[in-house]
Structure 1
Amino acid sequence: MDAGTGCFYDASAENAFPGTQDEEGAVWAAMESVGHGPDVFMAQGEGGHNLAGFTSGWGDGAYPTWIGRAADGNVACFLTDFFVIPHSAEADAPAS
């Protein structure tokens, strides 16, 4: 997706959202339903798959994501750094 938008979905859902590359289908319909802004959206794909989408910080790019697991090993959360808060070294650096 080239819209400053990120998403989480399971690898088994890779083909569950046809038309996404052509700016069509369930993902684009869900994204357009929330308009412009930092809203989160859910898209339902084929085969019962879901996708959680959201605006992606400063725009397109690659962002590191960590997966948190509960004591039983099940996925409990995701944490993605969108680089919108300066790291301490950047915040402490003198202004140029």
Structure 2
Amino acid sequence: MRPGVPQGTRPHTRVAAVRLVIREMPTTSWEMAVDEGQDPAVLGEDEFYGYGVDAGTGCFYDAGADGSFPGTEDEEGPVWAAMETVGDGPSVFLAEGEDGHTLAGFTSGWGDGCYPTWIGRDTEGRVTCFVTDFLVVPTAQVPAA
């Protein structure tokens, strides 16, 4: 439920974050996921780089799978077919694309928008996981010193 909005009679559930585990090792450091040419050092305190969400659905897939899910932009193909199998409410689904690629999709917090993803690394710098924050849980306000 959104802060300041009264709760209705039907429970309302949202996905606050999603995690894709790459390696079952403790995560000891985090960095913002960025595209080529994006520099987190130029961002303000409450700014981030993120990925755009449409149709209230985000996903994780390898860059090598780009183009393996034809019809997605036209609301057709394996991604839309997989989305239709999950029904209402927060859900995760897998879509099988061309060339053996798989996409993990999920409902996205408050829906359409832009959301940051973080890369977790172990003590040796290897990727342990990816986490997308759907900005559902409010951050604590820290009083000025």
TM-score range for the pair, normalised by the shorter chain length: 0.7 to 0.9
Task: Give the CA deviation at 1:72.
Answer: 5.7
The equivalent of 1:42 in structure 2 is: 94
The structure whose RCO (Cα within 8 Å, separation 6+) is larger is 2
The equivalent of 1:80 in structure 2 is: 132
Between Structure 1 and Structure 2, the one with more helix by share is 1
Q: Deviations over 1:55-87 (max 9, x none)?
A: 110111111101123456553211111110111
Letter in 2 for 1:31: M
- Normalising to structure 2: TM-score of the pair? 0.57
Q: How many residues get paired? A: 91
Q: Which runs of 5+ in 1 are unaligned?
A: none
Aligned to 2:90, the other structure's residue is in SS state coil
Q: Which runs of 5+ in 2 are unaligned?
A: 1-52
1:61 matched to 2:113? The reply is yes
1:52 matched to 2:104? The reply is yes
Q: What percent identity do the matched residue pairs reach? A: 69
Instruction: Find the partner of 1:33 among 66, 85, 93.
Output: 85
- Normalising to structure 1: TM-score of the pair? 0.84
The equivalent of 1:12 in structure 2 is: 64
> Rg: which structure is higher?
2
Task: Give the CA deviation at 1:50.
Answer: 0.6
